[in-house]
Each structure stands twice: as C-alpha cells, then as structure tokens.
Structure 1
Amino acid sequence: MQKTPLYRLAVTAAAAVFLVAGVGLTSVSPAFAEDSETPSPTPTAVETPRPAPTDSTPTPQPGEGVVTPTSTPAPSSTPTSTPSSTPTAVTVVPTPTPATPSAEPDVEPAPDSEVAPLAFQADGLQFSAASISGFDPGNIISDYNFYNSWAMTENEIQSFLDSKIGTCKNSNCLNVYRMDTPTRTFDFGTCATYQGAPNESAARIIYKAQRACGISAKVILVTLQKEQGLATNDSPPLSDLRKAMGFGCPDTSECDANFYGFFNQVYAAARQLTWYNNPEGSFTKRYKVGASNPVQYNPNVGCGAPEVYIQNKATAALYYYTPYQPNAAALANLGGTGDACSSYGNRNFWDYYRSWFGNPIAAERLAGADRFDTAVEISKSTFPSSNVNVVYVTTGSDFPDALSAAPAAAAGGGPLLLTTPTKLPASVKAEIARLKPKKIVIVGGKSAVSASVEKDLASLTGSLVRLAGKDRYETSRIIAKSAFPDAAGAYVATGANFPDALSAGAAAGIAKFPVVLVNGSAASVDQPTKQALAGKSKVMIAGGAAAVSAKVEAGLAAEGRQITRFAGADRNQTSYLINKATFTSAKSVYLATGWSFPDALAGAAAAATTKSPLYVVPAYCVPADTRSAINITLKANRVILLGGPAALFDQVAALAPC
C-alpha cells in the first residue's frame, strides 16, 4: 500500500509504543506482537521487504496502492445477480393490449406511518461493478459510509466472507481464520479498548474494531481486499495476514515487524484511519477538507500532483493512508493497469466498495421537523436564489389536489410548498418571502387551502391565482390546461392513490407534460378527460390494471393515440420503469418513501427542476433494479433522500439492498 512517509517517520522497528503524531499505544508489548495466532504461531522471520519504486520506474507492486490486477483482482463488471423477472414498459399504437397485471392495491396506508425495519443479509450486499466515470477524486466515500460503526453485524461480516471466499483451501482464509486476541487500548480515546478473547474469528475481530474505532466494517473489508486480496482469497499465505491492511508498510522501506499480525493490522489501521482527522493531530495540516490540495499521481513526483478539492474527512483519510490519486490511464482501465505514472489504491478502494456495497457516496437528506418544513428544505436546496417565477402552494393534509401540481410547479420554474388548511406555517411563509415569487398558485378549493391562508399568501406576491375544481379530477384538468396548454402528451394516473402519480411527477415535469388524474376503475373515459387529452399524441399510463383499468386504457387509445403503460409488480417497480424510460443519465437522484405522499410531492417538483429522477422506495432498503440504475445506468454521484429517518431509514442512505 502506498502511504505518505509522514507517519512512517514516527514508527521504528524498536518502538515499544505506537507513535503516530505523538500518540502512544498502551498495554502493548515492545514488538506489538500478537499473543498467539491459530492455527499456527506468528513466524519470527521478517518478511523480505519490497523494493521501493524508483523515480524513474514507478512500477506497480502487489499489495500496494500501486498494484497489479492479479494481486487483488478488480470486481467483475457483470452483476452478481439479476431480478427473477424483468419488468417492461408496453407501448401500444393505437390499439390497446391486454391490461398489464399489477400487484399494487388501491389502498392507501395511514399517512406518515412507520414501517418496521427489516434485517438484510450480507449475501445481499454483493453488487456489480460500476463504471469508473462516477469516480470523484475529491469525494471517494462519504463520511457517513466511512465512519458508520454499525455498518455490518458480525454475522453479516461472516456471511460476506463466506460468500466471497467459498471453500477455503488452507486455514488462513478470513472466513475460517481464528486467533487469540489481546486487550489493547489507544491513548486519547481515538478507539475504545479492544477486549481480547481466545479463539476469535476474523469476522469478530473486524466487527469489534469497527465498534471500537468508529470505522465501517465495509471499509475494513475493502482495505483488506485492495491491500492483500484477503476478502476473496481461498488460500492466502500467513505472510499476507501478517500485513493484512498494509499498515506499517511505507513505499520507501520494508514493512515494520512491530505491526505484523492480523489483529495488529486491523485494529491499528482502524485506529489510524480515525486518527487522521483528529484536530489534535498533525495530519489535518496536509490535506485540508473543503479546499483544493495537490495530490500526487504516483511516488514519482515527476508524474505530477494536480489539485483535488477534498470534500470530506473520509476522503482526506484515504489520501493520508494512500496519498495518490489515479490518473487518466488508471481510470480508463478499471481492473487493469494504466501507465508508468498510474496508482490504483484509491481507485480500487472505490471500485470494491461500490461493487460490493453500493454507491460509496451516501445519500444527502432534505428533512425538516415535519412535512411542511421538509418541503421548505427541498425548496431551499433547489432554489437557493430569490425572485423565482412562481410558487405553488397546496395542502399537506391530503394528496389528491396536489398530485398534478408538482410538474406544473417545475414547468413554471418554482417549488411546491405545503400548508395546513387553516394556517400558513411560519417556515413556509418565511420561505416564500425569501423566494419573492412573481406569482403564487394555490391548488385546491377553500376546504383544502382556506381564505385566511389565501390572505396571507396574497401579502407575499403581486399575483395570486387559485386553481380548483369540484373534485380531484377536475382540479388536475384545470392545472393541465393552465400550466401545459400546448403539451403534446400527458401522463395519466389514478386519483384514488398517490404512488404512481408521484413517480410520474418528475418525468412529466421534465417532458413538459401534465399529470391528469382519472377514475381508474371506471367503465370508460369520461368526456371531460377526453377533452383535456384532445390533440395529445402520447399518453403514458402510470400503474397497472388495478390502478387504471383496461377499459380506461382502451378509451385513452382513441384518435390513434400512442399509449405506453408503466406497470411493475409494486409501486417501487413502477417508479423504476417510469424513470428507466425517461433517464439515461443523471447526476442526482431523489429517493422518497412510497408509503406516504408529502415528501415525494414536494420532491417531485425539485426533481423535475433539476432534471433528476425521483424513485419511491421502501423505508428500509433500495430495490435491486433501482440500485442498479443509480450505480450503473445513470452513473449518479449524488443521492438525495427526502424526509427524515422515520420516513427513510439509514439503510436507504447507505443504499442497502432489499
């Protein structure tokens, strides 16, 4: 592993304590040797040192940040698993096909209901390799994913190792390796004390180091792989375990025998990765977070050191540990070698993490104390400047009037904000005052947004309009006529439930199409809906036949109109299909719960404004097809969660698979 000589100078072969930035390790023998290793004792012979790369020939060395692909093979570019059935969008021109079945019931759960989190297994954490185009040298992994001390349970780590290694051919594989561990304590509280125990498994050591030092077990596993290939090796020599994390192995000299041994490597490296960003340490002076820093391509200084804007502590820690960024040649050959100036450590870290655990950049959250404040936070994120064209305001107490408002708000160049029926929340009023809209559009009648709220809104703009019909269907048609008078197409969704219309909102806003609500269980299309769709050559139906029946579909197909139905097995898959048809790439994606409407409602307007997809997902995980779209198809480098942890659990922030 390539590391900066900064902390190497502080470690000597005769050290009786662990000296890094002036910090000691207590309760350690002079050699920092492990008390015992099973099934065989720690060798006394010192490993033959690897020669340091020369300035003239920066040759990749196995186990280093500059590595040959054969030492730690890069993940396969082929997904490890595929869904049992692949949903499709059916296009009909103009004769309708038989209705697409849907398992989605037209039953709305209680608003803001919480779904109990479900456990997910480690074998489900495997994931396909991603395109290197998503690599950002300034944001390799988020702080959340890096410092998540609850990232994996011991059982999940064990299952992961079993799945990657399979049948072990010797006793050194990490899925079978065991040893007696000592009790260790680091000064200054960087890590909690590690309580030693007899016959501990590698999985348990990794888990306990994660908890003690506040470093994700996923990070430890990835580091074990990029350094020595240990997470997948079914017959590693004991020498590889002795330098498992590459800790104490500088580029300019041999590995330090004081840090030999699997336990020593894992615990000391976990501590070091935590210590790098300790404000009391000296390491924070080299790679400044929130600033541009020169980062070399290679130990050969002649290869250059372009500046990298380091966005977070985790990325800075990776550069302290392996102080090189991959050059264009290394990025162009993911899993292979580049040129004489290439390094691969941080590239491979990113690739292994993304392939095994999903996007290493955790999701951002836009959330407030309630649905009204969350909509405000979404607005602030999307519209940082004032003087917007329009602000749409609708009730946050129910969904029907608002479902068609999100694409209209986006088309008009403004946010969608929520209010109670009788009082405009103070945070919403303050946000509208900040935005200084030229116009405010109220969606819904006075039972949804009262006259008193209308009066407050009128004081915030010179132009106020109310769009309201006798029911949700007429309101959606009025919005369509007002915001999309010349649209060539429209999305159609049931007005009896919200998930399908919410998923269509962002796609519709980008296409400049309205979302028209229909009575999906009706025997035919009513005349007002026919009039609203007159002249439109394309109609996209969001949802299966249980939401919008075959008879309604047949009526929509009149006049030679092209009909496309997006219907998945559930609301999450329908959302995926709508976005699949709309987006081939996206820098950002939005995730919202599919079991309540307010967050996705305001988020759909923001997603459409930023030309980003919005996926509805379960509260506790991300479906496989959605994960694949985010990580591979779209190559997104920003994931935005809408709502707090009660709506979307932290597993979703880490893109945990369903």
Structure 2
Amino acid sequence: MRARRVLTGLVVGAVIATTATVAANAEDTLAGAPRAAGTPIDVPAWRDAPGEGPAREADLTEEQRQYEAHLRLQAAEADVAEPGVSDAARSLQGFDETVPADVPSAGDDAVPSGDAGPAAVGATGAATDVATAEAAAGFTAGNLIIDANFYNGSAMSESQIQSFLQSKVGTCKNSYCLANYKVNTPTRTWSWGTCSTYTGGTAESAARIIYKVQRACNISARVILVTLEKEQSLISDPDPGLGQMQKAMGYGCPDTSACDSTYYGFFNQVYAAGRQLTWYGNPEGSFTWIRVGSSNRILYHPDASRCGGSDVVVQNRATAALYYYTPYQPNSAALANLYGTGDSCSSYGNRNFWRLHRDWFGDPRVKLDIPWTRYAGADRYATAAAVSKATYPNAGVPVAYVASGLDYPDALSAAPAAAAQGGPLLLTGRTSLPSATAAELTRLKPARIVLVGQTGVVSGSVHGALDKIAPTIRVGGADRYATSRLIADYAFGSASIAYLATGTGYADALSAGAAAGKVKGPIVLVSGRAGSVDSATRGLLTSLKVGEVRIAGGTGVVSSGIESSLKTSFSVKRYGGSDRYATSAAVVRAAYGTGGPAYLATGTAFPDALAGAAAAGRVGAPLLLTRPTCVPSSIASVVQDKGITQLRLLGGSAVLSDRVARLAPC
C-alpha cells in the first residue's frame, strides 16, 4: 500500500529530496532543493543586502548559514551557465526522457511507501531474520556510511547491478520496472569538480545508467540503488508508475513546494543526484556548515521547536553528504521500530538508507569488498588439510600436530603449540587416520609428528599409521586439563604471556589460541567454575616464567576466584564479552595491530576453527568467530577498526555462507 506524503519543514538551501513522516517506509523527511539561477528568494531581515553577509561564518545561525549556502549555489550556477539558465537545467534538456507538458504529475498519492519491509531485503534475496532491537542498536547517527563505501566508482559491475535488480523485483509488470527499463540518454558534462562526462547512448538499461553514473561520479552503485528504494520503492516495485520515475531519487523535491520538473525522469534523477552527492563531499565546494569531525546539531524533524534534535559528531564526508541530502536523523521511536513507524517526531530517510544498505549489502560502516578466500574440503579432515596447504605450501616442516577431530579439548591447546613450533594442526578419527590427513602429512614431510591425547582419545592404530610417515610421539594426560598442561610444557621452554580458557567449551579458546600462537605462548585449559586456580596450573605458569596471564571469557566461564588467585603471582588481564562473538572481538582487539588478513570461523562448531587457529597463530593473524550466515556487529566493527585487508573463511559454504564474506550483518 502506498502512503501519501506529508510535505513539511523548512526550505534548506541546496538540500534535495522528499518527505514522508506518516509511514515509516515512506519517503524521507527532507527539505529544500537547489534553484535555477535567477529564481527569486526572500531576503531575511538579518541580511542588509543580497550578497553581503555577516563578517564571520561562526556568527551565523543555522538558518543564516543555509541561506548563505543558497546564495553561493546561485552564484556558482550563474558563473557556469548560459544567461538565465542554470547548468542543471541546460544539461538536462533535449533528450527522449523529457516529460511532455500535458502529462500530469502522478501526485502524492502515487508516491510509494518505500521499502517493502523485512521480507523484501537480505543480501541473498531471502527474508532477513533480524531482531529489530539488536539491529537498531547498531545505528550510529555520526557514521551512516564510511567514505570507502560511499565514494566507490567500482562497487558493482553492470551485470551485478542488473542481476540485483532482477533478484529484487521478480517479474516485471510494465516497462518502467527497472529490471526491464530502457531509455535513450544524452551526453552530459559537469565541470564543477564532481562528475566526469557521461556519454549518452541508445536504449540504455537502468543498470547501465546506474553503472555509468557510478563511474562518472565515483558514487557507489549501492548508494544509488538504496536511494532509489528509500525514495520511490523502485527496486522492489514490479509495477511502478510515471510519478515514481519522474522523482526516482527524490532530487529537486523540496518539502514546501512541488517537485521541480526540470529534474524529472529516471536518467535526470540518477545523474543529478549522483552529481550532487559527489559535490557535497567536494572540499572546495560551498557545503561547509556540517563540520566533519566536530559536533553538529542534527534535527529529528522539520518541526524543530516541537521535536528538537541532538548533537552529532559527523565522522566522515559521506555521512555529511547524506545529511545535506536528508537533513534529519531518526529519533528513538523510529529506531525502536526499525521496519515500521515511530511517532510524530520521527523521520525515516537516513534510517531507511542505513537499514536498506545493511540488509542488502552489509553494514555501510564496515568496509565492503574486502578480498576473501575460502579454505574448505569435503569434510573436517580435508578442510584442515586445505588450511595446512595454504599455510605451508612447501614440504619440510619441522613438526606437525595431530589431534582428534571428534572433540575439541586436546586440539585447543595444540593449536598455539603447533604455531609456535612452525607446523600445522591436522585432525584424525579415533581409530583410523583419514586419507586427507595422511596425504597432507606425506606431502609436508615433517621431521616429527606430535599426536595429542591418550589412547582413549586417539587409538594406537592411528599412532602406528603416523609413525610410518614420520617419527611420532604422543603427548596426553589423564584428562583434558592434564593434556593441556603437558602440551604447554612440551612446546614452550618459557613464555612471557599465557592464555587461560575454560575446558568445558571451545568458543573462547579458539580466538585465544590464535592470539597465543602469535606471541608464542600456550593456552591452558582450566575448570572455569573452580573457586581458585589449581596448583598444577599455577606451577606450570611459574615454571614457564609467565609474567602475564590473559583470561579469555567473562566470569561466567572463568570465575572471578581464579582471576583473584592468579593476581597474587601474575599480572592478569581479562578479555570477555556478552557472548562468544563479543569475547572473540575483545581478545582480538587487545592482541593485534591493524592491517593484514583475518580468519573467520563459525562460532557454532569447532572442527574447522581448530586447524585455523594454528594457521592464524603461525602467520600472526586474528581468528574471529561469526555466525554461519551473518557477521555480528562486534565482529564487523573489529574488521573495520583493524583495517583487515583479506578475509579467510574456514569451512565450506554449508559452514560459513558467502554472506559472511560480504560481512552481511546479523
């Protein structure tokens, strides 16, 4: 059902788009539009004469700054245009998309309601299963989208755009439907420090227009696609009307008057909006009143006296550009009902932009298009072998560790030991050596093999098979804790740092194991609910000359009593979070600098991550846990903050979907 727009608010110079405050999925609450040169405008009383403003910009009120910007825009247009005609109007004349004067506007009733809601979104086209409260908690008014995702002229290919349009709309019902739409386009040049020349063509598809504007203006096609949806539902609507096409990007549609027909038409809208969004970020341009890196007052609604606003530190040029285009932020009511309506002071434009981008392409605040690769095999044993091959491409490693692939405790401690000693961790069954493991060991030609666990975990027949490949020793104790201590004692003569984790769960120890391998220290498993550290663990840490103990996990998994008792002899730091993903993020934040690759493993199973932890520890890269089909916000923020340059997925697509590689948010 299409909602009727409510056009309200102040006219803000050079701010362009449309408003809807009735329905949450309706158009944005916006204000103002650039006017053609010579368009009359009332001169406020505070200004003595047109062209002469106060001496200092800092003395201006918000309204005064906006008026000054409007005059600068008019002056700039006059400088580059033919007499009496703005460059925008001149550049959009004389081609097939001009709307005849006798074709009426579709009117407000024809303006669609925007995004169709959760069932219409999702990086794979399926419904996005998102808890609204959790999702909305990720919204940050000062960082709507990072510059790298906004100013990206190669974000999508033309074929990718076309496939996306088809996947979202299903079956088109008319020729305006974007998956089918074609139009003749003009050649347009804009010399004002923004877009390069757009070379026109015959019967160009919507995908081609979007692609070419992306290239010409260096504005991501994803930004254009999201804007088309939040403004006029054109991505998801199989049967759009003329009015939607005329105002496709909401460009030239101020809150206080009818849309400017100069900008009517799909090509006009996409090109003009792309140009404008680029111009907003031009450091030599006139849009300076939103100060990047500083606090700015951003309103919730055009009715400032009733609805107010809040101070927002705008973190980048892209976010500033969106606030110039849509000058309101969502209030708490709009965020509390992320796919619905808020209250009478709610505005939805920037909320819907963030939400659509997040659901379709990934969190706009996290760098997308990070190169990625997948290490996977037919089963857990073959996956471990694939990780080994990628980490150790040449034969002649000093050691290879082998542990059970059917349970996790022994392998958790083996991962940093293998990393520190320069070899992989491979997996085995209890009574037989898998062919993938045997083949990889044969290729590697290790000087020795360390088999982890007693015969109740890995049988003598496996030991015998390993011994035929390379000399094999067994390291194992009476239980998982004893085995953990024996591995640490065997692999590390000394260690300045040791990690502690519970032995009754695998999640926290996976990220910690990779971090331990990086610093050439052990990970020691403990009975996490004990009231104090056991004497055997204390003795091991002392004998290894450990100075700092890092606990992985909160007090619910490793007790405060253990922490307190360790503090009598060691420096102790704890890294924990609200869940396994937040704990993984906390471990990685503390242990790693910026740049380089990161390994991603599912947090809901252990096998693939075991070999991955050893590989990550060896190359000094973090291992981050994620959900099978999406990336928790705590993990995505680490990827962003650490400037990760490559993602390495552990396991096949049934374990980690391609959506994880695209950092699709949970």
TM-score (norm 2): 0.53
The residue aligned with 1:592 is 599
Indicate the SS of the match to 2:366.
coil
Residue 293 of structure 2 corresponds to residue 290 of structure 1: yes
Indicate the SS of the match to 1:164.
helix
Counterpart contact for 2:183–2:204, Cα < 8 Å: yes
Distance 1:175 1:314 in 2: 28
The residue aligned with 2:14 is 7
The residue aligned with 2:76 is 22
Q: Per-residue CA shift, 1:417-451, capped at 9, x if unaligned?
A: x9999xxxxxxxxxxxxxxxxxxxxxxxxx9xxxx
Deviates more, 1:20-29 or 1:349-358: 20-29
Structure 1 residue identity aligned to 2:356: Y
The residue aligned with 1:514 is 524
What's the CA shift for 1:630? 2.1
Structure 2 residue identity aligned to 1:6: G
The residue aligned with 2:425 is none
What's the CA shift for 1:596? 7.7
Structure 1 residue identity aligned to 2:114: T
Indicate the SS of the match to 2:296.
strand
Cα distance change of structure 1 residues 260 and 602 upon mapping to structure 2, 3 Å threshold: farther
Q: Per-residue CA shift, 1:66-91, capped at 9, x if unaligned?
A: xxxx61135316986xxxxxxxxxxx
Indicate the SS of the match to 2:639.
strand
The residue aligned with 1:601 is 617
What's the CA shift for 1:43? 3.0
The residue aligned with 2:255 is 251
Q: Per-residue CA shift, 1:599-647, capped at 9, x if unaligned?
A: 832899977xxxxx445xxxxxxxxx5452426xx69555348786466
What's the CA shift for 1:6? 2.2
Counterpart contact for 1:4–1:321, Cα < 8 Å: no
Return the match for 2:348 from 344, 351, 359.
344
Q: Per-residue CA shift, 1:363-382, capped at 9, x if unaligned?
A: 49999xxxxxxxxxxxxxxx
What's the CA shift for 1:19? 5.1
Indicate the SS of the match to 1:308.
strand
Counterpart contact for 2:195–2:216, Cα < 8 Å: yes
What's the CA shift for 1:316? 1.1
Distance 2:499 2:274 in 1: 60
Cα distance change of structure 1 residues 487 and 639 upon mapping to structure 2, 3 Å threshold: closer
Return the match for 2:195 from 163, 186, 191.
191
Indicate the SS of the match to 1:293.
strand
Return the match for 2:303 from 289, 300, 325.
300
The residue aligned with 2:632 is 630
What's the CA shift for 1:266? 0.4
Distance 1:584 1:647 in 2: 18
What's the CA shift for 1:252? 2.4
What's the CA shift for 1:167? 1.6
Cα distance change of structure 1 residues 45 and 503 upon mapping to structure 2, 3 Å threshold: farther
The residue aligned with 1:280 is 284
Distance 1:195 1:6 in 2: 30
Structure 2 residue identity aligned to 1:505: G
The residue aligned with 1:520 is none
Q: Which runs of 5+ in 1 are unaligned?
A: 52-60, 64-69, 81-122, 368-396, 409-414, 422-446, 448-469, 494-499, 517-530, 534-578, 608-612, 616-624
The residue aligned with 2:333 is 329
Indicate the SS of the match to 1:273.
helix
Structure 2 residue identity aligned to 1:630: P
Structure 1 residue identity aligned to 2:34: V
Residue 144 of structure 2 corresponds to residue 140 of structure 1: yes
Counterpart contact for 2:110–2:241, Cα < 8 Å: no
The residue aligned with 2:237 is 233
The residue aligned with 2:45 is none
Cα distance change of structure 1 residues 358 and 29 upon mapping to structure 2, 3 Å threshold: closer
Distance 2:536 2:75 in 1: 71
Indicate the SS of the match to 2:346.
coil
What's the CA shift for 1:256? 1.6
Structure 1 residue identity aligned to 2:258: E
Return the match for 2:115 from 60, 73, 81.
73
The residue aligned with 1:43 is 100
Structure 2 residue identity aligned to 1:351: R
Distance 1:309 1:471 in 2: 59
Distance 1:593 1:278 in 2: 37
Counterpart contact for 1:173–1:235, Cα < 8 Å: yes
The residue aligned with 1:655 is 663
Q: How many residues align?
A: 435
Indicate the SS of the match to 1:514.
strand
What's the CA shift for 1:22? 2.1
The residue aligned with 2:572 is none
Alignment of 1:569-588 (within 5 A): 582-583=580-581
Counterpart contact for 1:34–1:264, Cα < 8 Å: no
Indicate the SS of the match to 1:7.
coil
What's the CA shift for 1:218? 0.7
Structure 2 residue identity aligned to 1:259: Y
Indicate the SS of the match to 1:208.
helix
Residue 485 of structure 2 corresponds to residue 477 of structure 1: yes
The residue aligned with 1:571 is none
Distance 2:285 2:620 in 1: 44
Distance 1:637 1:485 in 2: 23
Counterpart contact for 2:178–2:234, Cα < 8 Å: yes
Cα distance change of structure 1 residues 22 and 598 upon mapping to structure 2, 3 Å threshold: farther
Cα distance change of structure 1 residues 220 and 290 upon mapping to structure 2, 3 Å threshold: same
Alignment of 1:340-419 (within 5 A): 340-363=344-367
What's the CA shift for 1:253? 2.4
Structure 1 residue identity aligned to 2:599: A
Deviates more, 1:5-14 or 1:196-205: 5-14
Structure 2 residue identity aligned to 1:297: Y
Structure 2 residue identity aligned to 1:299: P
Residue 160 of structure 2 corresponds to residue 153 of structure 1: no
Q: Percent identity?
A: 46
Cα distance change of structure 1 residues 348 and 532 upon mapping to structure 2, 3 Å threshold: same
Alignment of 1:181-220 (within 5 A): 181-220=185-224
Q: Per-residue CA shift, 1:475-516, capped at 9, x if unaligned?
A: 9635757877996526789xxxxxx9855737999xx97369
Question: Once superposed, what is the RMSD of the aligned Cα atoms?
Answer: 5.4
Distance 1:5 1:399 in 2: 69
Counterpart contact for 1:165–1:175, Cα < 8 Å: yes
What's the CA shift for 1:282? 1.7
Q: Which runs of 5+ in 2 are unaligned?
A: 1-6, 16-31, 40-71, 372-396, 404-408, 423-447, 449-471, 477-482, 490-494, 527-534, 538-576, 589-597, 602-610, 650-657
Cα distance change of structure 1 residues 480 and 648 upon mapping to structure 2, 3 Å threshold: closer
Cα distance change of structure 1 residues 257 and 148 upon mapping to structure 2, 3 Å threshold: same
Distance 1:492 1:340 in 2: 48
Distance 1:21 1:398 in 2: 73
Counterpart contact for 2:158–2:208, Cα < 8 Å: yes
Distance 1:532 1:326 in 2: 56
What's the CA shift for 1:353? 0.8
Counterpart contact for 1:507–1:582, Cα < 8 Å: no
Counterpart contact for 2:153–2:214, Cα < 8 Å: yes
What's the CA shift for 1:214? 0.7
What's the CA shift for 1:42? 2.0
Distance 1:515 1:502 in 2: 12
Counterpart contact for 1:407–1:508, Cα < 8 Å: no
- Structure with higher Rg: it is 2
Indicate the SS of the match to 1:22.
helix
Counterpart contact for 1:26–1:184, Cα < 8 Å: no
What's the CA shift for 1:196? 0.3
Which structure has more relative contact order (CA 8 Å, sep 6+)? It is: 1
Cα distance change of structure 1 residues 365 and 478 upon mapping to structure 2, 3 Å threshold: farther
Structure 2 residue identity aligned to 1:71: S
TM-score (norm 1): 0.54
Distance 1:166 1:652 in 2: 25
Counterpart contact for 2:73–2:286, Cα < 8 Å: no
